[in-house]
Each structure stands twice: as C-alpha cells, then as structure tokens.
Amino acid sequence: MGSKIIVASKNPIKINSVKLGYQKVFSNLDFECEGVSVPSDVSDQPMSNQETLDGAINRATHAKKDFPNANFWVGIEGGIEKMGEEMMAFAWIVILSKDKKGKARTGTFFLPPKVVELINQGKELGEADDIVFGHSNSKQKNGAVGILTDNIIDRTQFYVEAMVLALIPFLNKDIY
C-alpha cells in the first residue's frame, strides 16, 4: 500500500524533491506525490527566517485542510534574510501527518551584491537571478543555488537533504 503525499506547490522541482526525500528515507514504500496550489499567507518574497518558516507551515496546513485524503502534507518556502549588508538565502520544509510534524531548514548561502541590490529594489529572488544571470524561470529549474554552484548543488539536491532532515520524526516515531 502506498502513501499519498500532497506537496503544497505546483513547482516540479519541489514535487520531485519531496518524492526523492521520501524515497531515500522510506525506500521500501511506494509514494504518490501530488502538487497543489495553496496560499502561503506571507510575502511573495519572505524576508526573514521566521516569515519563511511561517510560509512553509501555512502551506502545509492549508494543503492538509484542503486535501484531507492524504497521509502527508509538505510545505516548502524559500526565503532570504539580511545579515548586515549581506543577504542569505535558504528554505524551510514542513511536513505534517495526521499526528506529527517534521521541519528542517536547508543549508544557507549568501547572494551576490547585484542580486541583493535588485531584491532591495523589490524584486523576488527568482526574478533577480533571471535578470543578473540572463536566465528565464530559474526558480523552476536549478535556482540561485544551482546557478551559483555551477550545478554542483542544484535546487533539487538543496531541498532533498532538508526533506530527509524534516522526516526525522517520522523515522523515529518512538522518540518524537
């Protein structure tokens, strides 16, 4: 018997990352992942760690409420936060089941000054990346992390590690 996972995003990178994370942790189980569109109730470009976490929680919560016939609901929210004159980028992943919650944050990296300048002017990270690097729709492809690491770490890989970390409570049910 398989598990149904609702991913609170239509972004194919996020859907695939969720599936890959579950396959790594629960390799003996079958999963069906479905992406759905739900609100984050935060800014289109979350500007702090807390706002980003809130967005992931809200997405997972809305998905659970709107699509109750699943086993897991996953919210992924990318965000940025200023640190002095610099700006760091990361994402939060929140996983809900009927009775548990798992959450984890991706690694963090710092954005180049030209991208920071565009974000400070009101652009979203994906839009700023497309302008600076001459790409289109990079947030549904390799994202800033892929562009900046020359795809040594692509956006999928960036999320998969955090997915595994967010699944810790489901892997260790006796102690969570």
Compute the mean pLDDT over every residue in the chain, rounded to the nearest whole number: 94
Question: What pLDDT is recorded for position 1?
Answer: 55
Residue 162 has pLDDT above 80, yes or no: yes
Average pLDDT over residues 62-80: 97
Residue 90 is assigned to a structural domain of this protein:
yes
* Angle formed by the axes of helices 12-25 and 155-166, nearest 10°: 50
Q: What pLDDT is recorded for position 7?
A: 98
- Per cent of the chain over pLDDT 70 is 97
Q: How confident is the model at residue 117, as a pLDDT?
A: 95
- Residue 5, classified by CB atoms within 10 Å of its CB into exposed (0-12), middle (13-18) or buried (19+), is buried
Q: What is the pLDDT of residue 157?
A: 94
Tell me how far apart the alpha carbons of residues 55 and 68 are, in angstroms, rounded to a whole number: 19
Domain for residue 116, yes or no?
no
Cα distances (Å, whole numbers) of residue 132 to 114, 141, 149: 7, 16, 15
Domain boundaries, position 10 = 3-105+154-171
CATH of the domain at 51: 3.90.950.10
Which tens digit of pLDDT belongs to each residue from 103-113?
A: 999 999 999 99
* Confidence check: pLDDT of 90 > 70: yes
Tens of pLDDT, residue by residue over 128-159, are 988 999 887 666 677 899 999 999 999 999 99
Nearest to 101 by CA among 126, 119, 74: 74
The Cα 148–Cα 112 span in angstroms is 9
pLDDT at 59: 98
In terms of Cβ atoms closer than 10 Å to its own Cβ (0-12, 13-18, 19+), residue 48 is middle
Evaluated on CA atoms 33, 38, 44, 47, the torsion sign reads negative
- Number of domains making up the chain: 1
Overall pTM > 0.85: yes
